[in-house]
Chains A and B, each alone.
Chain A
Amino acid sequence: MAEVRLENVTKAYGETLAVDQVSLTVASGEFVTLLGPSGCGKTTTLRVVAGLVDGSSGRIAIAGRDVTAIPTHKRNIGMAFQSHALFPHMTVADNVAFGLKMRGLSGADRRSRVAEALDMVRLSGFGGRYPAQLSGGQQQRVALARALVINPDVLLLDEPFGALDRKLRETMQEELRDLTRRIGITAMFVTHDQEEALILSDRIAVMNAGRIEQIGTPAEVFEFPRTRFVADFMGVANLLPARVTGVTGDRVSLDADGLLMETRMVGAAPAVGAEIAAGIRAERIAVASGEGTPAPNTIAGRIQSAIYHGNQTTYIVDIGGRTLTARESNQQVNDGGARLKENDAAVLSWEAASVRVLQH
């Protein structure tokens, strides 16, 4: 099958580096997502792989072949775009057949392959329609069929579901997940939506300012962000500047401006005195009502606002000039909305294993 290798890929626009020394190997059959905010270089990286943008330096290899100097149309890739990019003047069948036609397949071969591909995306019988006559989700499925029918070495997806509404997006994510795993294709996916990345990917590469800041499985990136940026992007709500005050084995003590914390490190322990950021997910903070005495990983405060989401409640808790955000699942039926109300006294606590030591 087909592995994709990026070696020190760099793309400069004048003085700015859109992509800065990105190296990454996508194993055969693996689904890797480039995740990051707009302008982080994720789309440019994908476009360099596609050959739609020339890299300033570095090398790209697809299926063991160095394609750095090979134009897009000879790379044997399949690509889906956010705008679908269907050919508006062609029927669905002609859209899907286009890549086969460019490869010189005969009419009969084309028809059977097109029928197969449309069947794969559950659009049999839509071959005679024009793209404008399809819904957004159907259009994107045609785009997928068109990209996959040519048996590409790698499927490149540039925010393909960005233009769809939430519900449809979830359906399409499931379909794409099933489809790519069933046919075992190597895929590179670009998105700014962390949830989408978690659902779809074998591995996630979080990008910031043209670089890959962290790469790992969804659980690794979600649970063990290494930097403040990654933690923030993966939705860690509480990020506090802190100093390392003690290290004993894997136990690390932190002082976040008076708020004392203890954590168990996974990986190398930081040096004593290091300035870091302490990160705690909102859903890992337990909220109890009443007064309490401060201790490591425990602090008393007052509910500043209680936001009822239905399945969850978010508490913004004033802990003396600063706030922490805690979120709990509403597991019991409670027709009164949030369990605690504004101005209630509350005690926040969390487990040492929930505190992350993050590099700036």
Chain B
Amino acid sequence: MQLFRYSTSIYGGSDVLIGASWDLLKWFVVAGAVIIVLHAAVKAVTSAAG
């Protein structure tokens, strides 16, 4: 998994950084889902425990 996007330099030098990798997009969505599920689970357990 790449963290960044690069483009090849037209002058033949090293690759040029052009931004964040969009492969990470799904992981930010997964992070949101994990936070929501964990919070809902903790709330459900603590409510059931009284």
Q: Do A and B bind each other?
A: no
